[in-house]
Amino acid sequence: MNDLLPEQSALWQYVESNLRATFSEYAYQEIRPNLIEKTHLFQRSIGELTDIVSKEMYSFSDRNDESLTLRPEGTAGCVRAAIEHSLAYNNTPRLWMMGPMFRYERPQKGRYRQFHQVAAEVFGIDDAHIDVELILMTASLWKKLGIAEHVKLNINSLGSSEDRQAYHSTLVDYFKDNFEQLDEDSKTRLESNPLRILDSKNPDLQALITAAPSILEHLSDESQAKFKLITQCLEAAGVVYHINTRLVRGLDYYNDLVFEWSTQFLGAQDAVCGGGRYDGLFEQLGGQATPAVGFAIGMERLIELVKLSELDTDTAVVDAYIVNLGDRARQYAMIAADKIRSDMPGFKVKTHLGQGSFKSQFKHANKSGATFALIIGDDEVDNSTLTLKYMREDKEQLTATLESIIEVMKNHG
Ligand code: AMP
């Protein structure tokens, strides 16, 4: 688990504000479901035999001996909230959420026990165009964040639950015929979750997996038509995709479209965003049958990618640093700082407080990354002026009234 430290938070905020702006452009509304749910909810939705439920949940008993769990993912809680508050009843909410998730995984680069996801979920729309909208939304986000070149889209269809069942037995037969070639992990999965064998990373299994029967050959006409509509729309929108029949995702509730954005720039943990359709989940959790589709982006991985982009992320913490000496100057500085803030919304002003000679205050100003230092000494107080010094440019400093200094800072390119 990682504390998010002050030096990282500016970039996080930058990415978060781009995410918020994108959701708002697509007219999605925020939901903030609970961080803790009944353990039962995850067992019923994600699936008892998945890695998440069988080994990764942070579960505990509360004072009433009820088993609760820190959410390992967001969809189940979001669906629970939608059922509880009738959000999807005669309604088709398009939602987004952001926050921490908890999984007891083996930590490594890009894989943590507390990590953050930003997710979108749409309920009540039985039309594959909404699946396309979600993909287009992620694609536009990558562009905004300058990482479009760093990610690739993989898509697959898991078909209806009947398609999946038929495929399930074909796949089990195939792997049983080749049982001796399977590794220990896959032998266990053959019993519990055979589809997951398909996304094994073991190099020794790759030939066997490549030759396995493909799910796309087991789709009903209806699922085939949905998948075709999606690929055609993506092509029309100019979104490049790869059909990856091995993409099954680690949670049980998916049907029809599944997709994943992955990258080759982050090492082994290469999935940045995963999503898909889960039309059966509402009913499975006791609600009315409601079609649903969504995705989740891993924030830590997204942030790492944004760091690689050439984008000027404007993460300066301070624009103007006010250097001041003595009580009179300090009072004058506080008032000037507030006048600047109200005249220049969004402009970041920090007043030096505490000890320090002019020299040491300038060191702080420099370290803060500020574009300007505003100097206030006795002369400035006596004459109702300020002195502006350019911290990053070789330009003459100037002394003038606060109003004039504000104009200079406003017009600075
Ligand atoms: P999932 O809910 O497993 O489909 O994950 C969706 C996204 O969350 C992944 O594509 C990753 O970017 C991110 N993610 C999942 N598990 C972790 C983890 N343990 N640490 C960091 N990011 C994760």
**Which residue has the CA at smallest separation from atom 3 of ligand 1?**
250
Tell me the whole-structure pTM to 2 decimals.
0.88
* Atom of ligand 1 minimally distant from the CA of 105: 19
**Which residue has the CA at smallest separation from atom 11 of ligand 1?**
298
Per cent of the chain over pLDDT 70 is 99
**Which residue has the CA at smallest separation from atom 4 of ligand 1?**
274
pLDDT tens digit string along 94-150?
999 999 999 999 999 999 999 999 999 999 999 999 999 999 999 999 999 999 999
Q: How far apart are CA 192 and CA 53, in angstroms?
A: 13
pLDDT tens digit string along 55-93?
999 999 999 999 999 999 999 999 999 999 999 988 999
pLDDT tens digit string along 219-244?
999 999 999 999 999 999 999 999 99
Q: Give the full edge-to-edge strand order of the sheet including 114-123.
A: 29-30, 94-102, 114-123, 292-298, 271-277, 255-262, 152-157, 241-243
The pLDDT of residue 161 is 85
Q: Verify whether ligand 1 is closer than 6 Å to residue 374 (CB atom).
A: no
The pLDDT of residue 301 is 97
DSSP one-letter string for 74-136: SHHHHHHHHHHTTTTTT---EEEEEEEEE-----BTTB-SEEEEEEEEEES---HHHHHHHHH
Pick from 53, 117, 253, 302 the residue to mutate for probing ligand 1's pocket: most ligand atoms within 8 Å of its CB: 117
Q: Verify whether ligand 1 is closer than 6 Å to residue 111 (CB atom).
A: yes
Q: Which of 26-35, 186-195, 311-320 has the highest mean pLDDT?
A: 26-35
* Atom of ligand 1 minimally distant from the CA of 271: 10
Pick from 111, 158, 249 the residue to mutate for probing ligand 1's pocket: most ligand atoms within 8 Å of its CB: 111
DSSP 49: T
Q: Verify whether ligand 1 is closer than 6 Å to residue 73 (CB atom).
A: yes
Burial class (CB in 10 A: 0-12, 13-18, 19+), 86: exposed
Largest separation between any pair of C-alpha atoms in the chain: 92
- Name 371's Cβ contacts closer than 8 Å, sequence gap at least 6: 316, 319, 320, 390, 391, 392, 412
- Angstrom CA distances, 273 to 15, 296, 301, stand at 15, 6, 9
Please tell me the distance between residue 115's alpha carbon and the centre of ligand 1 in angstroms.
8
Phi, psi torsion values for 141, nearest 5 degrees: -65, -45
Q: Verify whether ligand 1 is closer than 6 Å to residue 298 (CB atom).
A: yes
**Which residue has the CA at smallest separation from atom 15 of ligand 1?**
298
The beta strand positions in 214-300, using DSSP E, are 241-243, 255-262, 271-277, 292-298
Q: Which residue has the tokens 């010094």?
A: 389
The pLDDT of residue 49 is 80
Question: Considering only CA atoms, which of 264, 280, 79 is closest in space to residue 165?
Answer: 280
pLDDT tens digit string along 196-214?
899 888 899 999 999 999 9
Please tell me the distance between residue 244's alpha carbon and the centre of ligand 1 in angstroms.
19
DSSP one-letter string for 298-345: EHHHHHHHHHHS-------S-SEEEEE-SHHHHHHHHHHHHHHHHHST
Q: How confident is the model at residue 314 (pLDDT cuts 50, 70, 90)?
A: low
The secondary structure of the chain in percent helix, strand, coil, rounded to multiples of 5, reads 45, 20, 35
Per cent of the chain over pLDDT 90 is 85
Please tell me the distance between residue 172's alpha carbon and the centre of ligand 1 in angstroms.
27
Q: How confident is the model at residue 364 (pLDDT cuts 50, 70, 90)?
A: very high
The overall average pLDDT reported for the chain is: 94
Handedness of CA 140, 141, 146, 151 (dihedral sign): negative
| Residue 312 clears pLDDT 80, i.e. is over it | no
